[in-house]
Amino acid sequence: MANTSCLTRLYPMVQINKGTWEIDEFDAASIYLLEGEEKAMLIDTGMGIGDLRGAVEMITDKPLIVVHSHGHIDHTGNSRQFEEVWTHPADQWMPVPESLERRRFDTEHIARRQKGSLGAPFNLFNLYPYDIDVDLREMDDLPMPVVHDLYDGQQFDLGGRIITVYECPGHTAGEVVFLDETKRMLFAGDALNYNLLLMGGVPLEDTLKAMKRIQAMSDRYDGIWNGHHDFRALGAPLDDDCMENVIALLEEALKGNITYCEVPSFWGQPMPLRRRGSESADDNPFAAMGRTYLRKGRNFLQIHSMYFGKKEEK
């Protein structure tokens, strides 16, 4: 294994309850560590900042199962630190990790948005305990982990704590959630958030069906913890209206009741407000053009224009 002694392990984290931690990868992603009597589970591996494995091993020495809620850049970044990972087959085509250039772009912009670095041009005083030139790195020298399939209904027994996998396609085709009935917790990755992006090429009908299925399980969990804490406090679950609003927005979209709205830039103010497809390659060279933004209460639902055929905003 590569030398990680120079990498930060100073991740902010909260112990939610006995055996459950939310690890904050410096506002880039939320990573969850679940510990049972015999094994532990790590849900997602973030953008790839710092020595995640070293930080986890400071908490538990139990055998570790590493799972991905989905295959995106900010949830698989440090996966090469581990020998085995579990990913839904529909997302296994995505790079592990994504290119350093792309990960650095996102990391820098997240730091600006969250005010993790201050000054003009936002990089004079770094408030995060990591050095982006050291802690965010190429990983081509590390071997790819063995990738196992995640599937609907699959269970992992951690010892006195069983975690069940449920498919929830929408954000990606291979998005899954993890239900912990022992602790009455649902870990949703990016399947649910107040700023939810649907870009997986999944029919809206299928996404709505999956959301309603997860909602119908609410008697088996007391809270939902998602893959980012930008709309909640670290360690706290999403508010109850999040799921309700997403379902309502999907139902309205399927009825054809589309009302376009302006939203703050993905990277936050003071960038200008934008409408669907208005973000240029100069603003973000990795931008996917042509999104429709819908709003209900605090929820923003971003739907890729592929869902609406060739209709264009007038």
Residue, of 308 and 178, whose pLDDT is higher = 178
pTM (predicted TM-score) = 0.88
Domains of the chain: 13-118+135-192+203-234 (3.60.15.10)
Distance CA 101, CA 138 (A): 9
- For the CA atoms of 277, 281, 287, 293, the dihedral, rounded to the nearest 10 degrees, stands at -20
Q: What angle do CA 209, 212, 213 make, to 5 degrees?
A: 85
Distance CA 169, CA 70 (A): 9
Lowest mean pLDDT among 135-144, 248-257, 284-293: 284-293
Is the pLDDT score of 8 beyond 60? yes
Distance CA 67, CA 85 (A): 6
Residue 301 near residue 252, CB atoms below 8 Å: no
What pLDDT is recorded for position 273? 33
Q: How confident is the model at residue 285 (pLDDT cuts 50, 70, 90)?
A: very low
Per DSSP, the three-state class of 275 is coil
Q: Mean pLDDT highest for which of 219-233, 247-261, 267-281?
A: 219-233
Q: Which of 92, 103, 83, 247 is nearest to 175 (CA)?
A: 92
Residue, of 272 and 284, whose pLDDT is higher = 284
CB atoms within 10 A of CB 282: 7
Q: How confident is the model at residue 187 (pLDDT cuts 50, 70, 90)?
A: very high
What pLDDT is recorded for position 272? 33
Residue 209 near residue 250, CB atoms below 8 Å: no
Whole-number Cα distances in Å, 28 to 12, 25, 59, 60, 299: 12, 5, 21, 23, 20
Amino acid present at 56: V
Residue 184 near residue 162, CB atoms below 8 Å: no
Tokens describing residue 34: 């679940």
